[in-house]
Amino acid sequence: MDGDAPTPRPGLTCPFDKLRPSQLVRDDAFFMSLAFNLAVDAWRLDEVPIGAVIERGGEIIAAAHNEVERAGDPTAHAEMLAITQAARKIGDWRLNDCTLYVTKEPCPMCAGATIMSRLGRVVYGWGDPKMGCLGGATSLHSLPKLNHRVNAIGGILEGPCKEILQAYFNLKRGRDSSAPA
Ligand SMILES: [Zn+2]
């Protein structure tokens, strides 16, 4: 991301304000707030509002939001982009000592990537009963012969993380009847 303010387009005004977490308490809610703010950025670009950051030793080493539309790439989910960034940043594809914060429970692809990257911990906001693969719809981590298990917890800032997605899809449904449910 280049940090430039996106050009607003009609109908895309995001009604959600960014959160302003205290810098003094760097807990799960702090890092999830940063992920939520990336979801707001995604909405402003007319992307599905999902954001992710990766933390290591108290520092953010990756930050991304969903970019499927802009990239024209169905794999450009926030988690995938953040995992790639993190591996580049630390020069190692093994992310054992990292925590991924993502506003929505990872889909099958992204949950798979958390296993392949050996992420130490995954914290998500809203648990997705339809596509979530860390326990919401199913759990990839329950594969019996898996030799890496990710420590996953959900429900951090669940309200705002869920509301921004619901509001976005409600708007899209109103504008385009072919939008995904
Ligand atoms: Zn995904």
Task: Specify the DSSP element, H or E, that contains 40.
Answer: helix 28-44
Structure tokens at 23: 């810098």
Residue 181 confidence (pLDDT): 47
Q: How far is the CA of 124 from the centre of ligand 1 (A)?
A: 12
Residue 61 confidence (pLDDT): 98
Q: How far is the CA of 79 from the centre of ligand 1 (A)?
A: 6
Q: Catalytic: 79?
A: yes
Residue 4 confidence (pLDDT): 54
Residues of the chain with pLDDT under 70: 1-11, 176-181
Task: Specify the DSSP element, H or E, that contains 101.
Answer: strand 99-104
Nearest to 123 by CA among 114, 145, 40: 114
Q: How far is the CA of 77 from the centre of ligand 1 (A)?
A: 5
Residue 5 confidence (pLDDT): 55
Q: How far is the CA of 24 from the centre of ligand 1 (A)?
A: 31
Structure tokens at 78: 């926030």
Determine how β-strand 59-65 pairs with β-strand 151-153: unpaired
Residue 147 confidence (pLDDT): 79
Residue 135 confidence (pLDDT): 92
According to DSSP H, which parts of 45-180 are helical? 68-71, 78-90, 108-116, 158-175
SS3 49: coil
Q: What is the pTM of this model?
A: 0.88
Could you report the per-residue pLDDT of 106-147, keeping only the tens digit for each?
999 999 999 999 999 999 999 999 999 999 999 998 888 887
Select which of 47, 55, 67, 79 is catalytic: 79
